[in-house]
């Protein structure tokens, strides 16, 4: 019964990730939080965010890999919200960069093999799923 419930919750979480193209991404800068909007990609519960390797985010993750992501609010009310606690690592894996590449990224990068284009590979450990129709539900790894 618990596995079925966890599986159903994972499906709901994946549905929210699929329905949102933007998230709020929080890192720690020194001892203070820093949040910015990012384009959201995912494969199941694994989250990917593309960035330039020369950004503050990359430096902050080298100091502290713990991150927080908010999904489900884009300026107007939405029925489902995710609060995600996770760890992030920087990946320059060519297959992953090619998989995530889209033409909108041409504004910042020369192509999927631009050496400055990296992917933040984010592994959730805790996800709070809030829906307007029910009490918050907790997923843990």
Nearest to 69 by CA among 39, 94, 44, 102: 39
The CATH number of 1-140, from 1.10.3720.10, 3.40.50.300, 2.30.110.10, 3.90.1150.10, is 2.30.110.10
- Judge whether residue 46 has pLDDT over 80: yes
Q: Say how many CA atoms lie within 13 Å of 52 toward its Cβ.
A: 9
Per-residue model confidence as pLDDT tens digits over 68-101: 999 997 777 678 999 999 999 999 899 999 999 9
pTM reported for the whole predicted model: 0.90
d(CA 88, CA 78): 26
């Amino acid at each position: 019964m618990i596995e079925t419930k966890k599986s159903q919750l994972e499906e709901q979480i994946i549905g929210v990730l699929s329905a949102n193209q933007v998230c709020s991404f929080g890192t720690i800068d020194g001892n203070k939080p820093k949040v910015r909007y990012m384009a959201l990609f995912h494969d199941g519960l694994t989250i990917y965010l593309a960035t330039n390797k020369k950004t503050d985010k990359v430096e902050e993750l080298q100091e502290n890999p713990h991150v927080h992501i908010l999904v489900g609010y884009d300026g107007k009310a939405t029925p489902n919200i995710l609060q995600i606690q996770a760890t992030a690592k920087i990946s320059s894996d060519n297959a992953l960069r090619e998989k995530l590449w889209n033409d909108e990224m041409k504004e910042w990068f020369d192509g999927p093999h631009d050496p400055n284009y990296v992917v933040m590979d984010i592994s959730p450990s805790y996800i709070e799923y809030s829906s307007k129709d029910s009490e918050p539900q907790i997923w843990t790894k």
